[in-house]
Structures are given as C-alpha cells and as structure tokens.
Amino acid sequence: MSSEAVPISTRTFAASPADFVALAKPRVTLLVVVTMLGGMFLAPGEVRPWSAALVTLGTAMIVAGANSLNMFLERESDKYMQRTASRPLPSGRMHPHAALMFGAVTTVGSIPLLLWGANVPTTVLAVAANVSYVGLYTPLKPRTWLALVVGAVPGAIPPLLGYVSVRGAVDLAGLSLFLVLFVWQIPHFHAIALFRREDYARAGLVVLPGARGVPATKLHIAATTAVLLLVSLLPYLTGTVGPLYVPAAGFLGAVLFAWAVIGLRPEAGDRWARSFFGASMPYLVLLFAAMLATK
C-alpha cells in the first residue's frame, strides 16, 4: 500500500514529539518571543503578569503555526538543502498532513489567547504576520530575492506586537521598534544567503547572491548595516529610551558596520559571511538590552 493510500488517521501523529517541536523551529520561535517581550516592556504602561503569560504563549503558538505551515509548503525544496533535508517532512519521518494540522491548530488556538491576554490590535498584528509569512513570503521565495524584504515585514512585527499588547495602539514609538528589526533582518539574511548560496540554488530559491552576485550582496550588507545604525537611534527620538542609549546603540552599530565593511574586500568569503551572521545575533540582543536598561 502506498503512503498516499494510508488513512490520515493512522499516519498523522506517527511522528515523535521531537519532530513536532522541530516543526515549530524552536530557536526562531524563541527569538520572536524575546523580541516581543522587549517591545512589551518598552511600552508605556503596566505589564500584568497574567496578560504577559497569555501573550507570550499566544505569540509562541502563532509563530509555531507559521513555521509549521512554511515547512509544509516547502517540503519538496527542503529536500535539496543540507540544513533542511533532515527536517521531519523532507526526511519522511512525518506525514505532510501532520504538519498542516499542527500548523492550523496552533495558529487558530493562539487567537483567543491573544484576545484574552491583550487586545484586538495585538491579535490583528499577529494574524497579519502569520498570513503574510505563509501566504506572501513563502510563495515568493522561488521567484525573487525581494521576497526577503516581504518576509522582513512579518519578521519585524513581534516587538510591535508586544508594544501594542500594553499600549493598546500603534504609535511612532512602536513603529521605531518595528523598523529596527525590519532593517536588521536584511543584512542578517543576506549573510546567510552568501554562505548557503549553493544550497538555495539546489532548492530553486532565489537569493541575492544568485540573482546579482556576491560583490553586490556584500555591498547590500554594508549599505543596510549603515541604515541600521541610523534607524537604531529612532527609539531615542521617539522618547522610548533615555540619552544613555544613544552611545550604546552608536557603538554597537559602528562595530557591526565595520564588520560589514571588512566583507567588501574581494578575499572576504564564506568565513566572513558566517562571522557577520554570527555577530548580528548578539548585536540585536545587546541593542534591546540597551533599550530596556535606558527606558
């Protein structure tokens, strides 16, 4: 009997619990939750523990749902990438319907938690992030490298979501947090595309190194890192943080920009791209820590 002929009821939950955890992309989900909490504690107003707990759980669930649905849609292309071939779907350890059901249940289940723990604007933002990630970003990846820009929108919503869960509305201060994370993602993911460009090519996904070449990608990284340095000052201009934040953000941005400029050398290759990618993570953590310390 073929795998397609096996009833869904006997195959759907045959995978291990670890495979369902893998569907959620726990490291990505953790980063989203951390940046959401950063936005929550930067917002003016009281953070109620029960509300924070519900919003945290709802955020984790809707992100897990988006990641699961993304894996469902990309299960064929994932077979050709070294870093994704061992995932539950391309490896054959899980029936595709399991990922589809898990993604749908966690997505729908997150909505009442966000409504109960926060408000309607927070819930709308979360649903918009999920829908745009799954419905726009994922289908665009095989078509254009500009999918990265589209995907950076839902990727930047978490701190705004946390902010709005306390503030109750979108304002300039919340948008400044959104812009910081939006711009940060662009050089961060271009760096991944550089040292994994062969993987992306095998999978049929269009990234900037494949579309425009390595030198152009390095230039994009340097230029957007410079923009990031400027954008990182917006939380001070909107009154979200105090004056001590400015030298901290300036120092962190200057270090990351210097790292990006080093990459413009012709001899800077995949090793540099990996190091820049690695440096961009603590940069973001330290930047949000500086915001919270100088609120």
CA 122 from centroid of its chain's CA atoms: 17
The boundaries of the domain holding residue 95 are 1-170
Q: Which two tokens stand for residue 273?
A: 């791209």
The pLDDT, as a whole number, for residue 14 is 67
Total structural domains within the chain: 2
Q: What is the pTM of this model?
A: 0.92
pLDDT digits (tens, 9 = 90+) for 87-112: 999 999 999 999 999 999 999 999 99
Q: Verify that 165 and 176 share a domain, yes or no.
A: no
Q: Verify that 61 and 177 share a domain, yes or no.
A: no
pLDDT tops 90 at residue 7: no
User: What percent of the chain has pLDDT above 70?
Assistant: 95
Q: Residue ranges of the alpha helices (H) in 196-269?
A: 197-203, 208-212, 214-231, 234-237, 245-262
- Residue ending a domain, choose from 118, 145, 170: 170
**Cβ–Cβ < 8 Å for 145, 208:** yes
Q: Verify that 191 and 287 share a domain, yes or no.
A: yes
pLDDT digits (tens, 9 = 90+) for 116-130: 999 999 999 999 999
Q: Which of 8-12, 136-140, 253-257, 276-280 has the lowest mean pLDDT?
A: 8-12
pLDDT digits (tens, 9 = 90+) for 172-218: 999 999 999 999 999 999 999 999 999 999 999 999 999 999 999 99
- Residue ending a domain, choose from 116, 151, 170: 170
In whole angstroms, what is the distance from residue 77 CA to residue 202 CA?
8
pLDDT digits (tens, 9 = 90+) for 24-83: 999 999 999 999 999 999 999 999 999 999 999 999 999 999 999 999 999 999 999 988
Q: Verify that 258 and 144 share a domain, yes or no.
A: no
- Residue ending a domain, choose from 152, 170, 188: 170
Q: Which two tokens stand for residue 5?
A: 């002929």
